Amino acid sequence: MNKQTWAGEVPMSKRAIVEKDLADFFEKNNVIDRMEVQDWNTEYRKLDELSNWGGPLQRLMMQAIYLIAFTCLLRFDEVLKIQHHHIEVVNRDHGHIRLTLPFRKTHQMGQIKPFALWFNRKKKHLDPVYALLRWIHCSQIKSGFIFRRITSNSDQVSLKDKPLVSFFEHSETFLSTDYNPTEP
């Protein structure tokens, strides 16, 4: 048992995301002065400032990733594999899209039913359609993987049609004793 458990705190998974977290995330990501694209130099992005952790495009992308994972109960690695052709706009006026995935860890033999997603105008922080379409519009991705790497020195989406990869897929590199972050 750790100190928090001894103090009477209820243990909670560090990965658990609840509606309040998404509302806070949405609110912080939609402040107008944070929507200016700037270079990620040391003047702009100080490591000790949690409120300034990424550029506008990166925050929009993360908002969409979290909302799709939350709404569809997907793993992050499943969300990161979504491609443009997996998304179909069924009814633009009512904000209805269909997300058809050819992969799910829990459905390895196929028979995956599509996800029907709708606008949620009452709770925009829980609106995966708004977040996804806003991300696609702002990123200007027209084909291939929807969620791609953001360049390290500016808030630009990679032109390479490669999915954003999870840190966990490469964690052995960081955990090995041979890893030297100063080497190119």
pLDDT tens digits in sequence order for the chain, 184 residues long:
556 666 666 655 556 778 888 888 888 777 655 555 554 444 544 544 555 567 788 888 989 999 999 999 888 889 999 999 999 999 988 889 999 998 877 666 667 889 999 998 899 899 999 999 999 998 999 999 999 988 766 678 888 888 887 544 443 333 333 433 444 4
Is the distance from CB of 53 to CB of 46 less than 8 angstroms?
Answer: no
Cβ contact 88:77 at 8 Å: no
pLDDT score at 118: 92
| 76 touches 69 (CB < 8 A) | yes
CA distance 128 to 46: 30
CB 70 within 8 A of CB 123: no
pLDDT of residue 88: 95
Q: Are 157 and 150 in contact (CB under 8 A)?
A: yes
Identify the burial level of 95 via C-beta atoms within 10 angstroms of its C-beta, where 0-12 means exposed, 13-18 middle and 19 or more buried. middle
Which DSSP state fits 158? -
Backbone phi and psi for residue 98, each to the nearest 5 degrees, phi listed first:
-115, 125
CB-based contact 65:79 (threshold 8 Å): yes
Q: What 8-state DSSP symbol labels residue 51?
A: G
CA-to-CA separations, 112 to 84, 106, 130, 178, in angstroms, rounded: 18, 9, 24, 42
Write the DSSP string, 85-143.
GGEEEEETTTTEEEE--S--TT-TTS-PPPEEEE--SS-GGG-HHHHHHHHHHHHT--S
